[in-house]
Structure 1
Amino acid sequence: MWPMSNTRVRGAAAYWPAAGLLGRVDEADREILLGLGHGVVYPAGQIAIREADTSDYALLLLGGTVKVTAHAQDGREALLAVRMAGDLVGELAGIDGQPRIGTVTACGRVLARYILRSELLECTKQHPAIGLALSASVVAKLRTATGRIVDFTGCDVLGRLARILHHLAVIYGRPGRNEAQLPLSQPEMATLVGAAESSIHKALRALRESGAVVTGYRRITILDLDHLARIAVEAAPPEGVAAGPAGSPAISPNT
């Protein structure tokens, strides 16, 4: 982790997705949030928050992407979520002071504000609109986690992958655009979907052949969101046919 002098630096996002904390507040409250804590830079691969740690700071993401992971009882690592600019991560420990439930790792260069629990709580007391926005963002993550459980029931790997990619593109893509780019590797997609990598490889090939996506090293570009949405609906197996082979997807609203 490297210190950063201010928030107006190269690599910060040019806009804030509506689903993230920064996208839920007005300009005045956004400036207040951007003034909290101090700026930090995480290089690719660095752990920003570690599972089971008792630290209580939160990170307000300004640029880049992080992944949230946790270890299952059998030792396997599960990818719980992907978070991008505008999101607050680590807020559960920042609110209740309990140990971390996941590890946050930089997927590339990440810019953030490092905010102590005491400062975050004081901010929500002094600025009720920020507190409401924070609550709304946590609720949205919980709704997403619940929705994934419901959506994935009885859905094959292709359908589950299409739904995950569509959801992430809608949340983090530019408004009004029918395409988006996501920094996800095939192993990460496999853990998000709850499928074997070989199954993800086949599903991606089907999506590529349909013209919905193109893939590259650690990234997937969605070319047609509407087409992807149709695939997500149509790819469910016939009634009575079980879902994909590799178990349930990893689900968690937060860290």
Structure 2
Amino acid sequence: MDGAHGGRTEDARTHEERGWPASSLLGRLGPADRDHLLALGARVPYPADQVLMWEAERTDHVLVLLHGLVKVTGHADDDREALLAVRMRGDLLGELAALDGQPRSATVTTCGPVVTRSVTRADFLACLRDRPQIAHAVNQSVVAKLRAANTHRVNFVGCDAATRLARVLHHLAMTYGERDGDSAVIRWPITQPELATLAGASEPSVQKALRRLRGEGVVTTGYRSIRVDGLARLRSIGYADR
């Protein structure tokens, strides 16, 4: 257990000063509830490319993501790995298995160094019983993830591959990118097969669309990063009809 000062854990003090993303679980909580959650379990760091949870395994602890990004993947019917989502600091990982006792629904892998708090299922469920506001925030978080998945599916109906890729890149840049005016850098490794999965397109189609975006000066691809050089232009490509 981390040491505390004035009722606050070291994790809570350090990260609260920087602020948690408003859409994350920790961003939805008030200071007292956030500190309570951050006092549970143990602080655990992980290196890059480390699997934190395996799809179908029977573990039921949860992880509170304090620093870094992770990718959530699953296996499609043809055994290809499908990128389902990306989670950022402040998010909760593994809550479904903790809530229903079923096997893990996806694999979670670190994108660069990550720091978490690992909380047992028993402590997590007790926290939900004892702290109604945390339970409400967890419910909101689960619903938000479901809505995002539904929106993702609906947004792609009737769109060509280039439009879908533009929408995916714009979402990633706005949600996880380091913003600088009309530019943003996505500083974590995302492969073209993963982009193709997110965009619901074939790899050749994504490669062709990326070449076009690079040629028009909209994006620049580098080692383990993608830079969007024109967010407004990228949005106009992805949402020309809106």
- Say which is worse superposed, 51-60 or 176-185, in terms of deviation: 176-185
What percentage of aligned pairs have identical amino acids?
50
Q: Which runs of 5+ in 2 are unaligned?
A: 4-9
2:239 maps to 1:233:
yes
Q: Is the 8 A contact 1:45 1:108 kept in 2?
A: yes
Whether contact under 8 Å (2:12, 2:34) holds in the other structure is no
Asked whether the equivalents of residues 186 and 218 of structure 1 are also in contact (C-alpha less than 8 Å), the reply is no
Residue 160 of structure 1 contacts residue 193 of structure 1 at CA under 8 Å; is this kept in 2? yes
Give the alignment partner of residue 191 of structure 2, picking from 175, 185, 208: 185
Q: Is the 8 A contact 1:59 1:112 kept in 2?
A: yes
For 1:161, which of 162, 165, 174 is the aligned residue? 165
Instruction: Look up the equivalent residue of 1:217 and give its one-letter code.
Output: Y
Structure holding more strand per residue: 2
Of 19, 29, 32, 1:28 maps to 32
Shift of 1:94: 1.5
Distance 1:95 1:66 in 2: 21
Superposition map of 1:98-247 within 5 A: 98-173=102-177, 178-182=182-186, 183=188, 184-234=190-240
Measure, in 2, the Cα distance between the counterparts of 1:234 and 1:120: 44
- Find the aligned partners of 1:222 and 1:146 in 2 and give their Cα distance: 25
1: CA distance, partners of 2:208 / 2:17:
33
Question: CA offset at residue 181 of structure 1?
Answer: 2.5
Structure showing greater relative contact order (alpha-carbon pairs closer than 8 Å, 6 or more residues apart): 1
Normalised to the residue count of structure 1, the TM-score between the two structures is 0.82
More helix by share: 2
Residues paired across the two proteins, number = 234
Q: C-alpha distance in 2, partners of 1:129/1:9?
A: 20
Supply the distance in 1 between the matched residues of 2:12 and 2:68 (Cα, whole angstroms): 14
| Contact 1:42/1:109 (8 A) holds in 2 | yes
Could you tell me how far apart the structure 1 residues matched to 2:70 and 2:17 are? 14
Letter in 2 for 1:75: D
- Alpha-carbon distance, 1:14 to partner: 3.7
Deviation at 1:211, TM superposition (A): 3.3
Q: What amino acid sits opposite 1:89 in the alignment? A: L
Provide the rounded CA distance (Å) in 2 between the counterparts of 1:224 and 1:27: 36
CA apart distance, 1:119: 1.2
Match of 1:242 in 2: none
Instruction: Assess, with a 3 A threshold, how the Cα gap between structure 1 residues 96 and 177 changes in structure 2: closer, same or farther.
Output: farther
Give the letter for the 1:60 counterpart. V
Deviation, structure 1 residue 199: 1.7
1:203-254 deviation line (CA, Å, top 9, x unaligned): 1222233333222112212233322221111389xxxxxxxxxxxxxxxxxx
Matched AA of 1:103: T
Code of the residue aligned with 1:189 in structure 2: it is L
Structure 1 unaligned spans of 5+? 237-255
Q: What is the deviation of 1:8?
A: 7.2
Counterpart of 1:90 in structure 2 is 94
In 2, are the aligned partners of 1:12 and 1:63 still within 8 Å (CA)? no
RMSD between superposed Cα atoms in Å: 2.8
- Residues 1:76 and 1:235: Cα distance change in structure 2 (over 3 Å): farther
